[in-house]
Structure 1
């Protein structure tokens, strides 16, 4: 059965079961199915261009999930847009994707050239509509598009098909022995980590418990919500777990039902895994790896006490998956201990690549021995039958679970009137990027104190890029050092600023 058929089966057998819970709002599987039918019916009557993407703007609302399903039932891919994304970036995504329509579940204050309506209005207009599987997105048709950072300074739309998603759901259920129960939904839908809990939960008849941005920003609300949630499966970045570990009372007494931790999006530090094992003695921890381009994750390793005691960092995969390989520039598999690029094979590799970006698609999506592959740009090596992550091969990094490209941040900073030149340097702890430092040469001599200049630049940047992409520290220099080729000498710069 395809993804929608699996959810339909649950809705038919357990219509009264809660599918989604967020900030006191709930929707059952029966309501989810009927309301998404209604929304799909209304969209189909609009006669939008065939297969054109539809943007869905909001934050952790049950109506967002209804909109996602309604859109794909109507034969269109959806593009999730969270309220945390700057309006300028949203405007670019809407324009670049040639989105034919926008559905909102929160107030939207940007004037855009595309028609928009609230999810609720669309549902009301289509009330009572019958199920029509003939128009559903299926197989190699694009199911969703998630935008990631791009080296050109513009986001790239990663297209994931129904087949990609279906294979991912089947794989993660088996690889991580996923139990039934309640699944934490913490990542915003514009971040592909959210897919890790959303579709394994919905296709398996499980309950999703979402926590909102406002709850996360208020420690008291956050831990009260977690205590009352009865969560069995926890999905997040390691960074979010680090925040929770700052509370000494966050343990298996506060969350006695927690059985499984799923971590992806960035390096899982040994110390975090060790402390989680001490606090949640009955829970199993999985370290997962995979880029957005290959449908969330492609490998999973159960973290054991032996691993924590033996290695300086946790492995990301067993060596014999057949899905993840380490290869040299000649596309030959490397020997043990030798560094190479992580190359991903298998049915979750995006069939269509990047939306309207053929040149970028052709750079990283290749055919190798008759099979479609994705060259991740990550480095790795083999040791003791495991694959270990060894950083990025370019300027693309992961910070707090978000993937971004250094060049995009630099372009946005250099676009500010005050800035003459800029280099952004990652601050690392081992292989993990923990912060960003911007080295800036201003156009004119500084007339204010540095902290005031930094405050002004950060405020301007927040209008163009998300908060997590804004460098933590700004260092001001008269000029940036150059190497023999006339390019900025990043290594020398890092030494000069003490990184």
Structure 2
């Protein structure tokens, strides 16, 4: 039976207590394993140490630095038990960015989740100018006698995620223990009836979609088979590990799955235990789902949607064959219990507002952004457009800030992308402005999949017959290697490189088109 304590911090303690005495594996990498019992004792010992760090209010965060290492789980639980807000950071975070995060959140300690004994010294040098202590995480520390005495209040901050897309001051998103407990309780309903012996470890811990993997492992005492992103290209090796570990729950962005589908071994014959696919973080496309239905007959595909500001995800739906056959894009789901989504009614899709128990505390030390995005407690303005059907099913309409002007005409880049994705044989597409001397002068279309210049020409021609000329991209690219950002989404900032290296390209000529010079 899953713990059901009403108090959020007590709920976490009850979940953690179930680890004691369990020899089952909790985390598997290519070089190390961690049992639940070992996780229990190591995190308890570290929590006791953290509780002694001077901080009367237990409010100063602890930064966890590492990538796909068992020590990350130990550090994570130690922070939760000690009531210290945790801040995950990846090892490849640029030094200046890391220093900004440490300074912005006023970190009390940096925990190094890495087996290299020299890592703490190297990281301390990276943080030159900061007096924050840097500690290694010990998997075999002397066990503590009991949990630290501190009990976190429901409104205390449990974790802070720093947005990967922020170019200026890092944007720290605060999520409370009450928010986290609400998410944890939702998992029982979300995956009701699902049975699995293992969970993927696809997502970097600095991206909150990883909480789907972590908490479904911890609630069911099932191991995580971690994917080191340095080995991302070795999909065959990871598939072999997933098969050996009988992993049954797959969590990822659509971009990760699209890359895995390039490997013919990613199928139900090689991976007979893999039966549930859960997606979050990006728009899920019909070709990806159809490929999964073809390769994993009878599998379950869950689509979810939600911003980090609202504790990972706020909607979910099982995708069916009827959704694939419908003219609309795939739905993003029904609102989860305790959360409501609203949008202005009208002929166009309105901005989605999220209200309820999932809405976090907001931004750290950014009052202007806080006021705009969080107009009232428990209310978040997403900047996303959406449409709700009469039965409560929601559809995503793209970002409001993806509307731009090209040579005086207002265009919505998300609408154009969606139109391209609906064309037969298209896996996915990204549309970005072609910039000339700081001004958007045309549109670039990047088409994912195995397509030739002739296919690009046909696509452009089809678009020109269906849309006004100013909505048809001028420059088309295919035959490039996709690059993912730290959150395993398509790296839009990298697309200029894709334009340079693409094997296939097409320039669409429009009547009366202005010369781009």
TM-score range, shorter chain: 0.7 to 0.9
| More divergent stretch after superposition (246-255 vs 384-393) | 384-393
Alpha-carbon contact 1:57-1:81 (below 8 Å) kept: yes
Which residue does 2:379 correspond to in 1?
373
1:103 CA displacement: 0.7
Alpha-carbon contact 1:437-1:475 (below 8 Å) kept: no
Alpha-carbon contact 2:201-2:226 (below 8 Å) kept: yes
| More divergent stretch after superposition (319-328 vs 383-392) | 319-328
Which residue does 1:491 correspond to in 2?
none
Task: Tell me: higher relative CO, structure 1 or 2? Use CA pairs within 8 A at least 6 residues apart.
Answer: 1
Alpha-carbon contact 1:319-1:382 (below 8 Å) kept: no
Q: 2 CA distance for matches of 1:76 and 1:290?
A: 25
Alpha-carbon contact 1:36-1:70 (below 8 Å) kept: yes
- Please say if 1:355 is aligned against 2:361: no
1:187 CA displacement: 0.7
Cα distance change, pair 259–8 in 1 and its aligned pair in 2 (3 A): same
- Please say if 1:128 is aligned against 2:137: no
Which residue does 2:417 correspond to in 1?
429
Which residue does 1:278 correspond to in 2?
294
TM-score calculated relative to the size of structure 2 = 0.74
1:21 CA displacement: 1.4
Q: 1 CA distance for matches of 2:171 and 2:336?
A: 31
Which residue does 1:248 correspond to in 2?
264
Cα distance change, pair 356–320 in 1 and its aligned pair in 2 (3 A): closer
TM-score calculated relative to the size of structure 1 = 0.76
1:275-316 C-alpha deviation (Å, 9 max, x unpaired): 111111121000101100000011101000111011331011
Q: 2 CA distance for matches of 1:201 and 1:392?
A: 32
1:135 CA displacement: 1.5
1:133 CA displacement: 4.9
Q: 1 CA distance for matches of 2:342 and 2:369?
A: 22
Match of 1:104 among 92, 112, 116: 112
SS at match of 2:173: strand
Q: 1 CA distance for matches of 2:203 and 2:256?
A: 10
Q: 1 CA distance for matches of 2:374 and 2:433?
A: 31
Match of 1:117 among 134, 139, 145: 134
1:404-435 C-alpha deviation (Å, 9 max, x unpaired): xx9xxxxxxxxxxxxxxxxxx88963177636
- Please say if 1:470 is aligned against 2:473: no
Which residue does 1:167 correspond to in 2?
182
Q: 2 CA distance for matches of 1:127 and 1:356?
A: 38
1:35 CA displacement: 0.4
Q: 2 CA distance for matches of 1:308 and 1:104?
A: 45
- Please say if 1:87 is aligned against 2:95: yes
Cα distance change, pair 156–251 in 1 and its aligned pair in 2 (3 A): same
1:9-32 C-alpha deviation (Å, 9 max, x unpaired): 4214x5212111122311111111
SS at match of 2:264: coil
Cα distance change, pair 208–475 in 1 and its aligned pair in 2 (3 A): closer
SS at match of 2:351: strand
- How many pairs does the alignment contain? 418
Q: How does 1:204-243 map to 2 (within 5 A)?
A: 204-243=220-259
Q: 1 CA distance for matches of 2:238 and 2:348?
A: 44
| More divergent stretch after superposition (35-44 vs 337-346) | 337-346
Alpha-carbon contact 1:436-1:473 (below 8 Å) kept: no
Cα distance change, pair 473–242 in 1 and its aligned pair in 2 (3 A): same
Match of 1:342 among 337, 352, 355: 352
Which residue does 1:157 correspond to in 2?
172
1:88 CA displacement: 2.0
Structure 1 unpaired stretches of 5+: 329-333, 397-405, 407-424, 443-461, 477-494
Structure 2 unpaired stretches of 5+: 405-412, 420-427, 439-484, 500-512
Alpha-carbon contact 2:343-2:387 (below 8 Å) kept: no
Q: CA RMSD in A?
A: 3.0
- Please say if 1:268 is aligned against 2:274: no
1:141 CA displacement: 1.1
Q: 2 CA distance for matches of 1:197 and 1:270?
A: 24
Cα distance change, pair 150–278 in 1 and its aligned pair in 2 (3 A): closer
Q: 2 CA distance for matches of 1:224 and 1:102?
A: 35
Q: 2 CA distance for matches of 1:62 and 1:339?
A: 44
Which residue does 2:31 correspond to in 1?
24
Q: 1 CA distance for matches of 2:395 and 2:495?
A: 28
Alpha-carbon contact 1:141-1:161 (below 8 Å) kept: yes
1:443-482 C-alpha deviation (Å, 9 max, x unpaired): xxxxxxxxxxxxxxxxxxx9xxx99363321799xxxxxx
1:497 CA displacement: 10
Alpha-carbon contact 2:351-2:383 (below 8 Å) kept: yes
SS at match of 2:184: helix
- Please say if 1:6 is aligned against 2:14: yes
Which residue does 1:56 correspond to in 2?
64
Q: 2 CA distance for matches of 1:475 and 1:25?
A: 36
Q: 2 CA distance for matches of 1:166 and 1:56?
A: 21
| More divergent stretch after superposition (112-121 vs 356-365) | 112-121
Alpha-carbon contact 1:438-1:474 (below 8 Å) kept: no
1:257-283 C-alpha deviation (Å, 9 max, x unpaired): 012100000000011111111111121
Q: How does 1:181-192 map to 2 (within 5 A)?
A: 181-192=197-208
1:70-96 C-alpha deviation (Å, 9 max, x unpaired): 122222111000123222221211111
Match of 2:48 among 29, 34, 41: 41
1:379-405 C-alpha deviation (Å, 9 max, x unpaired): 012346321101001159xxxxxxxxx
Alpha-carbon contact 1:340-1:380 (below 8 Å) kept: yes
Cα distance change, pair 319–188 in 1 and its aligned pair in 2 (3 A): closer
Cα distance change, pair 267–129 in 1 and its aligned pair in 2 (3 A): same
